[in-house]
Amino acid sequence: MTVRGLKKSYRGRTVVDDVDLDVRSAEIVGLIGANGAGKTTTVECVQGLRRPDAGRLRVLGVDPVSQPGRVRAMIGSQLQSSGLPDRLRVGEAVRLFGGRDDDDRLEQFGLAGRRRSAFASLSGGERQRLFLVLALVGAPRLVILDELTQGLDPAARRTVWAAIDQLRADGTSVLLVTHELDEAERLCDRVVAMRAGRVLDSGSPGELASRYGRAVTITFTPAAGAGGLTPAELRDLPGVTGVGRQGGRLIVNGAPAAIAHVGAALAASGHVCADLSVRMPTLEDALLGLLDRDQEMEQDEVFAMEGALR
């Protein structure tokens, strides 16, 4: 799937602004960002549900603008605003969308016992799982998922995550729109961060966490008396950028390399810390840092423009 220069506006308000996006074979790509970032509009254009104002789109070699029906027949999709007739039964929905029964898929997502149940009687989590089943019937080569695990309990989330992992192993591509950054971190090969209709940056979750996230934090209770490492000694270790205290514990901040050097120094001192903990930068840290950076750049542009007008 390839998107180049995608633009979409509503009543003069730009909601998608020159977006480029790629999803390769057997790859899971996540779209992340706050509400109003343009994620859902982007995937609706990809599926041929909305007509873009500009841009070039190809989905499995087909143009969703000129052939939207063909694209929708080739892909699987589960949308945030999906719905079915209240009286349609679960088994009937599977046959309607897939052309046949798929008891294995219903069993996989814990819906086998609800085959004869009407859609109106399903809980929110059951409806979400049914929409995922319907997205996967027919073994599509590309699946588009919007808020995949919204409303699911932790056990159901793990089941769904395992199914998405299996899709990738089977060669299926997945475009995932999510607010759940732990989900994106767990599932995605690459993530694309959006704000106000624009792509801010993209990369693997680890790359973005390293690029924009906070420093590594190492926390432990120092040895009592002589023989323990002092804050001054910790500050001199490679990769360490700062040392502080919180109650009786030391907090060491720095680059990832600091983990090895602090651990080696503690071992050499003979002090084994039973409560040592390490916090790595997360995708959530990266997104917050990226959004803050983009907002600062916007403010700088405004100040520069105001200065030029004076």
Residues 264 and 130 in one domain: no
In a domain, 26, yes or no: yes
Residues 203 and 256 in one domain: no
Residues 91 and 231 in one domain: no
In a domain, 105, yes or no: yes
In a domain, 174, yes or no: yes
Residues 134 and 220 in one domain: no
pLDDT of residue 152: 84
In a domain, 290, yes or no: no
Residues 221 and 205 in one domain: no
pLDDT of residue 80: 66
pLDDT of residue 125: 83
pLDDT of residue 81: 64
Residues 68 and 183 in one domain: yes
Q: Which CATH number is 267's domain given?
A: 3.30.70
Q: Is 100 exposed, middle or buried (0-12, 13-18, 19+ CB in 10 A)?
A: exposed
In a domain, 287, yes or no: no
In a domain, 284, yes or no: no
Domain boundary residue, one of 193, 210, 227: 210
**3-state class (DSSP) for residue 50:** coil
Residues 229 and 164 in one domain: no
What are the per-10-residue average pLDDT scores of the chain (310 residues)? 96 94 96 91 95 96 95 86 88 90 88 94 88 88 89 86 91 93 94 95 92 88 74 93 91 92 90 88 88 64 42
Residues 71 and 178 in one domain: yes
pLDDT of residue 296: 62
pLDDT of residue 294: 66
Q: Give the span between the Cα atoms of 240 and 256, in whole angstroms.
A: 9
In a domain, 299, yes or no: no
Residues 252 and 135 in one domain: no
Q: Which of 195, 237, 270 is nearest to 42 (CA)?
A: 195
In a domain, 168, yes or no: yes
pLDDT of residue 17: 96
Find where tokens 């790859």 sit. 27
147 secondary structure, DSSP code: S
Residues 239 and 257 in one domain: yes
Here the tokens at position 202 are 């993209």
Here the tokens at position 128 are 């979400």
pLDDT of residue 177: 94
Residues 159 and 28 in one domain: yes
pLDDT of residue 269: 87
Structural domain including 193 reads: 2-210
Q: Is 252 exposed, middle or buried (0-12, 13-18, 19+ CB in 10 A)?
A: buried
**Beta carbons of 194 and 223 less than 8 angstroms apart:** no
Q: Give the span between the Cα atoms of 142 and 70, in whole angstroms.
A: 13
| Phi, psi (deg, nearest 5) at residue 16 | -135, 125
pLDDT of residue 309: 39
Domain boundary residue, one of 190, 210, 230: 210
Domain boundary residue, one of 210, 226, 255: 210
Q: What is the total count of domains within the chain?
A: 2
Q: Name 120's bridge partners.
A: none
